[in-house]
Amino acid sequence: MKKVFFWPYQLYVWLIFMPLGGILTLLFSTLAVIFSTLVSPRFASRVVASAWGRLLAWLTPISVTVEGGENAQQERSYVVVCNHQSAVDILVVYGWLKLDLKWVIKQEPERFPELESVVKKWAIYLLIERSLITLARLSRKRWTVWAKALESSFL
């Protein structure tokens, strides 16, 4: 049965989902920047990014069931770990976890000035160095700044 739907699904992914997903991502990221500025970053994360994640997941199509979500307290901080086996975990985290998210990202965005300026302006983040010698060694200065910003955002 899977073999029957493989090629039609590939056509759907490349001819419909990818172009539409790209357009929706540009639209929702623009809305997130606008709402972050005019309303609050928390609103942009919980409303705009959540709608983006749910819409793209619906287009994928995937079925998501969250167990224990009612135990998450909005005023507390949580560490959410994704292994990125696919891009679906990003959609699920944004679409179904009702948390104000902060990101731990790899250091490579520093190589792209446009991306770096967006990340530094709109997100609280922690860059991780990923060299073979110093695997996942945290920059002490950035960790301190990130931890203080994270703490103040939940007070």
Instruction: Name the range with the highest mean pLDDT among 24-28, 75-79, 110-114, 144-148.
Output: 24-28
Q: What does the mean pLDDT of the chain come to?
A: 77
The pLDDT value given to residue 20: 96
The pLDDT value given to residue 107: 64
Mean pLDDT of 1-23: 91
Confidence at 99, pLDDT banded by 50, 70, 90 = confident
The pLDDT value given to residue 46: 86
Distance of alpha carbon 87 from alpha carbon 49, whole angstroms: 15
Nearest to 31 by CA among 16, 19, 13, 43: 43
What percent of the chain is modeled with pLDDT above 90? Answer: 25
Distance of alpha carbon 127 from alpha carbon 28, whole angstroms: 24
What are 49's two structure tokens?
């990014």
Strands of 137-138's sheet, edge to edge? 103-106, 125-129, 137-138
Distance of alpha carbon 41 from alpha carbon 33, whole angstroms: 8
- Burial category of 22 from C-beta neighbours within 10 Å (exposed 0-12, middle 13-18, buried 19 and up): exposed
Comparison of pLDDT for 130 and 83, the residue scoring more:
83
Taking the domains of the chain in order of start, what are their residue ranges? 1-66
What are 8's two structure tokens?
């039609």
Comparison of pLDDT for 12 and 136, the residue scoring more:
12
Rounded to 5 degrees, what are φ and ψ at 103? -115, 145
Least confident of 29-33, 70-74, 151-155: 151-155
The pLDDT of residue 136 is above 50? no
Mean pLDDT of 121-129: 58
